[in-house]
Amino acid sequence: MKRTPHLLAIQSHVIFGHAGNSAAVFPMQRVGVNVWPLNTVQFSNHTQYGQWAGEVLAPAQIPLLVEGIAAIGELGNCDAVLSGYLGSAAQGQAILAGVARIKRCNPKALYLCDPVMGHAEKGCIVAPEVSEFLLEEAAVVADIMCPNQLELDSFCGRKAQSLLDCLAMARALLARGPKVVLVKHLAYPGKPEDSFEMLLVTAEGRWHLRRPLLAFPRQPVGVGDLTSGLFLARILLGDSLVAAFEFTAAAVHEVLLETQACASYELQLVRAQDRIAHPRVRFEATPISL
């Protein structure tokens, strides 16, 4: 029987609704991965409501919790670490120490970093020193990075001028260390208005994927977290990068269709669970030749 992969997921938890681990854990479990959630914050709701209650986890807790897993002899079973929304830059440093600790037990373990940054225009609120940590430290260590366009712009210090320019920017990020860059959401002058586009870039190849842009009165939150989580889950389950990319696009689109049909602001993950596991739609990743 094939072994079920194990994944340590270090990001936010919200009690009501879906963002961070509250958007990614259940879908990753639903596709067949054992998830170990480590919550960087526990908030009542995501920050785009403009108000929330709750606390940031003390950074010193992160190594203690990782050591707790080592103490019961399970750390070597960790196949990957995912990090997302951070409550502080100190948490980021503690996560990198945890990644190094896990890689000592299991050198094959992957580290996927979703560089969640704050953006006034999106309403996502993240401590400013977190962006610096992601740019300067996390990018060097991560095996896979999954920025959205705003995050890719921050990495490169400029805005993209075209699709080929997005590709050049993703390759510049690749040069900092990661072996895989997934741009979860492209924005560039001239992009067709009815499409939602993503890019997958490695040293060997580059692929572009387009899916329909759906209309929402208020953009749902947690889509990026769902995207990163499913991409890593499918890689752990044995998909090729391109297959994981295509699966992720389809499963996320299914969730958005269900969310739109319910006229809901929060992602409808429970209702969409069978569609996540077995997407009915399919989007093809097309190779980009230089």
Ligand X SMILES: Nc1ncnc2c1ncn2[C@@H]1O[C@H](COP(=O)(O)OP(=O)(O)O)[C@@H](O)[C@H]1O
Ligand Y SMILES: Cc1ncc(COP(=O)(O)O)c(C=O)c1O
In the complex, which residues of this chain contact Mg ion (CB under 5 A)? 116, 224
Q: How far is CA 165 from CA 140, 178, 179, 254, in A?
A: 22, 19, 19, 29
Nearer to ligand Y, 17 or 98 (CB): 17
Nearer to ligand Y, 9 or 14 (CB): 14
Inter-residue contact 216 to 106 (CB < 8 Å): no
Query: Taking the mean position of all CA atoms in its chain, how far away is CA 163?
Result: 21
Q: How far is the CB of 214 from ligand Y (least distance, A)?
A: 15
Map the footprint of ligand Y across residues 40-69, applying CB under 6 A.
43, 46-48
Q: How far is the CB of 218 from ligand X (least distance, A)?
A: 9
Class of residue 36 by CB neighbours under 10 A (exposed 0-12, middle 13-18, buried 19+): middle
Nearer to ligand Y, 52 or 288 (CB): 52
Of positions 70, 125, 213, 237, contacts ligand X by CB under 6 A: 213
- Contact between 31 and ligand Y (CB under 6 A)? no
Q: Which strand (E) or helix (H) includes residue 30?
A: helix 21-30
- Contact between 219 and ligand X (CB under 6 A)? yes
**144 secondary structure, DSSP code:** E
74: region left, alpha or beta (phi > 0 left; psi from -120 to 50 alpha)? alpha
- Contact between 124 and ligand Y (CB under 6 A)? yes
What gap in Å lies between CA 182 and CA 54, rounded to an integer? 31
Q: How far is the CB of 289 from ligand X (least distance, A)?
A: 25
Binding partner of residue 17 among Mg ion, ligand Y, ligand X, none, CB cut-off 5 to 8 Å per kind:
none
**172 secondary structure, DSSP code:** H
Nearer to Mg ion, 102 or 180 (CB): 180
Binding partner of residue 144 among Mg ion, ligand X, ligand Y, none, CB cut-off 5 to 8 Å per kind:
none
What gap in Å lies between CA 56 and CA 36, rounded to an integer? 18
Q: How far is the CB of 86 from ligand Y (least distance, A)?
A: 9
Binding partner of residue 135 among Mg ion, ligand X, ligand Y, none, CB cut-off 5 to 8 Å per kind:
none
Angle at 47 between CA 46 and CA 51, to 5 degrees: 105
What gap in Å lies between CA 213 and CA 250, rounded to an integer? 13
For residues 145 to 164, the per-residue mask of contacts with ligand X, x marking binding by CB under 6 A and - elsewhere, is: ---x----------------
Q: Which residue has the tokens 């842009």?
A: 213
Contacting positions for ligand Y (CB under 6 A): 12, 14, 19-20, 43, 46-48, 85, 116, 124, 221-225
